[in-house]
Structure 1
């Protein structure tokens, strides 16, 4: 049993006295040059909130399950949820707009919204109860088609319009698959910024699907929308319509970790990671000449769906000066990162190959002075 505390996530700092994060107002993204481990520590995990986190008394908190898709209304305390058989897995959570800044930097098409680099993602070890367990315990009807999870954060108001609490429909197939109601993150109680006391974790899907500060599950026998899947978090723009505009699983992506000093003629080992929504990674390719040639990298460590896998690739820089490194991932579903991300009005799902410029130093020449005898 976890000892729960009402503490806001502490945004830590590295030993060099800098900051683990790139700040975007009240939201923060993890710095790629800050030695990101495989499991992102809770105090280094990116934060994306629509409104202020709620203050929740865990002892009085109840999760309401309601709607015509269940036999009757039920409520569950945290102790009730923890009495079911739990599940623990390592999975990534990624903001739908991760990489938005790169639409401008690489494709010359600035998109409005938080200008994330690639740091609006983290991998954690999540513990909770399968959503399917709770729905079936509540009496799931066979004709149920979706679940609408609703958060407890303050209603979101834009231009004077109250859009209500953050909520987004989840198809029943995904709800009954690998979605969990999580109460622990990296074997610790959920920090307030990450959904205390309980949140959904929807592996492989856009981050908005993993509703934080969970308060209600509305199970329905008909499709019900919310602003978070019609007004926002949906593809808008030329060519986007119908099912193609729906945002669900995340595309494959890859990144290069901090390289450290590079010297011409000296062997270096490039390292990074690759990930994909509801798929594992089949291959990572690396280019050290701006995309003219590609070599396959060596995958390292665990390679699970909806999680990132490490890769490494040896490189001896041929000359001093500026070089452009690039990586592209192919996942187990056969999807490969494109040269350009599909254009859309809101800058969602930037999935293109990322250009990573580096500066290579000239060889260090050690001189030996002979002493006279």
Structure 2
């Protein structure tokens, strides 16, 4: 097959996570951030200390990320919620109401397949870019909950509150979005993840899922949907998840929001017959991803990868058959024949349907840790005569 061909069924299995034979994968090392300062193992430990756990790199080239080991970014508090006493309160709407868990579970559900990503994923501090994943979520739509309450009433914005509290030391997490943003994203209140009830660490018994918006808005352990007539300006909206943008000659604080156009090479495994397969995913932006290009020489040249758009994979995976895929990533692979052993700098860039190309670096007019759309470079050391068994 030539670069740019559509993936066949066998290739899809390779691109979506079939395990490689032992010893035939190469480590892709970040070029900046904590993994380069402290080593990958210590960097992972340091991230866990601030309540971050990353997906394993190879899982980022799978269509659906396994629940076990799925990334998290939270506040050290995983509350134990009693399903018998749990209540979801909806206020500030036309007809406020409170739902028990059986009532919530009995509502009609919709399915969303979408990328979840920390807004700071892959910044110059973290480096490794593993704070993302893609799961299949199911639950009543946000819009249907409002209909159950007679409509939004006067509410134009909503603050969503979680149960992860430490009494007077910490309030439960809260984050606000406008009704327009929630409607545009087709948000749901998820009660299952990958076909199973939510685990405690993933937000049991319910969490907000907002496709195409960074996951600081995907409030876990959801207990209160609060309608408001003005934007919610809690600390996470006002200060934490913000950048500064240069506008009109001055720097203005702007909230992080919609996921930008990006991609990542996350796995390098030996290809049958020689060479290596570079595997990864591409997502984000305002328009669907139409192509991915890969560089193995630090950006001096780019070659087209073989992209499998998620829409073409729906028929092959029963988990996606009834789900909406707006905001889902597409997987890709590139068959690489290095000219010889040595250390190479590799990366990928996504291109959308309108021809917009993922930027090599962050916008100099934006300062901050969030919406990291730059190319994620990796270093890989290719050994001599390293082929898979039986090749």
Distance 1:46 1:61 in 2: 25
Range moving further from structure 2, 344-353 or 83-92: 344-353
1:46 paired to 2:71: yes
Whether the 8 Å contact between 2:214 and 2:258 is mirrored in structure 1 is yes
The answer (yes or no) to whether the contact 1:328–1:353 under 8 Å persists in 2 is yes
Corresponding residue to 1:247 among 252, 256, 271: 256
Where do 5+ consecutive residues of structure 2 fail to align? 1-20, 23-40, 312-324
Equivalent position of 1:91 in the other structure: 114
Q: How does 1:123-138 map to 2 (within 5 A)?
A: 123-138=134-149
* Residue in 1 that maps onto 2:337: 316
CA deviation profile, 1:287-324 (whole Å, cap 9, x unmatched): 12221111221112524431111112222111221121
User: For each residue in 1:13-37, what CA deviation from the matched residue of structure 2 results, as whole angstroms up to 9, or x when unmatched?
Assistant: xx98xx9x93422421112046853
2:321 corresponds in structure 1 to: none
Label 1:141 to 1:124 Cα distance change in 2 as closer, same or farther (>3 A).
closer
Following the alignment from structure 1 to structure 2, what is the Cα–Cα distance between the partners of residues 57 and 66?
A: 22
Q: Which deviates further from its counterpart, 325-334 or 54-63? A: 325-334
Aligned-partner Cα distance in 2 for 1:93–1:339 = 22
Residues 279, 333 of structure 1: 8 Å contact kept: yes
| Contact 2:113–2:326 (Cα < 8 Å) also in 1 | no
Moved over 6 A (4+): none
Cα deviations across residues 35-90 of structure 1 (Å, max 9, x unaligned)?
853211111200111141111111211100112xx123200112222222210121
Larger Rg: 1
- Tell me, in whole angstroms, the C-alpha distance in 1 between the residues paired with 2:278 and 2:100: 48
- Give how far 1:122 is off: 0.9
1: CA distance between counterparts of 2:209 and 2:218?
Answer: 5
Match of 2:317 in 1: none
The superposition leaves residues 233-264 of structure 1 with CA deviations (integer Å, 9 ceiling, x where unpaired) of 0113766855x71211111221113213589x
| Distance (whole Å) between structure 2 residues aligned to residue 287 and residue 57 of structure 1 | 51
Which runs of no fewer than 5 residues in structure 1 stay unpaired? 1-14, 104-110, 366-373
Counting matched residue pairs gives 329
Aligned: 1:347 with 2:369: yes
Q: Which residue of 1 aligns with 2:83?
A: 58
Q: Determine the C-alpha separation between the residues in 1 that align with 2:362 and 2:73.
A: 22
What is the CA deviation profile of residues 208-233 of structure 1, one whole-angstrom value per residue up to 9, with x for unaligned ones?
Answer: 11111000011122223111111110
1:231 corresponds to which of 239, 246, 255? 239
1:125-182: CA deviation from partner (whole Å, max 9, x where unpaired): 101000000112112245421111111111598xxxx663211111101223410000
How far did residue 345 of structure 1 move? 5.5
Q: Is the 8 A contact 1:22 1:30 kept in 2?
A: no
Q: Give the TM-score normalised by structure 2.
A: 0.76
- Distance across 2 between alignment mates of 1:35 and 1:149: 28
- CA distance in structure 2 between the aligned counterparts of 1:146 and 1:271, rounded to whole angstroms: 40
RMSD: 3.0
